Amino acid sequence: MAPLRLRHPKGVSTLQVDFDTFTVQDLQQEIYAASEILPSQQDLKSGYPPRSLTLIPELPLESLGLKTGDQLIVNQKPGSASRGVSSGATQAAVPSPARTSSVPSGRAAEAPSSLRASQAPVARPAPSSSSPASVETNGGTLVHRIVPDDNSCLFSSVALIFEQDISKAQQQRKIVADAIRKDMETYNEAILGRPRDEYISTILKPTSWGGAIELAIFAKHYSTEIASVDVETGRIDHFTPPPASDSGSRCVVIYSGIHYDAASLAPFADAPTDFHQTVFPVISSGDDDPILKATKELATILRSKKAFTNTATFDLKCEGLKGEKEARAHAKDTGHTAFGEY
């Protein structure tokens, strides 16, 4: 059995499928069990940009071109009745975010065939003024996903990306600690900058910050490249897994100098987070990759808003500040923007 991640209106699920024996109908039944969307009503998308899959129940699962670890997005087809509604009841169709996503410049939007005869397509909602920064790109909108200023921002961002749950930040710290314990050669005192046991003890504390060492560990653990963009400079650092275990996927974290956030791809800027994609296929290793291009544009937007902190000279200990939240508040109140951590 192999895992497929499924995003659906009720949340996120992991399906276990057998690529050798499953038919498309078997996959649809698994999706039905997780989402309660009947097979006949399933609008299924996969890939980046998300593409609609043609579902022919009798064909083998391999006909869909899926592979282990792929992400699927399922929505109910427009106009379909929800499960459990009686034949005599009426219900307003809930628009699918995938159906209301933006269309690239120069292309006309076309209503699905099921809508053209009877109704106009649902308009995409305009982003609210309080929406986080975002950039239009192929297949959707890359959105700045802000996590709390609680000294666990890197771990929260990674938990959001890979577990869809920032409350699992402490579990991410344990992943780091276990990796350092198991690989004494790579994570020696010279690399860690302190005795290994001391480093492990410190990183398990919720008040300790993470950085490059942790990003490298997470890239290996999740077999996924982590692209970390520095808001101040626009530079992207790539933390890659070993070639033998590289899944060919990439995610994005945003670094402001003393804080990490995540980035995710939404069908449109104000789409519910359940419909966001946080891991993307690597289209190119260069800056022409659409996600990396959008990442640089997102950093430019944040830089124009002064959403970064230079870490060159200021000493947190001298100022009596404790942790990331106080540092950010101090910078806002005093204009000091150069922080260094003891």
What residues are annotated to the active site?
150, 153, 259, 336
Is the separation of the CB atoms in 256 and 231 below 8 Å?
Answer: yes
Which residues have CB under 8 Å from 25's CB, separation 6+? 39, 57, 58
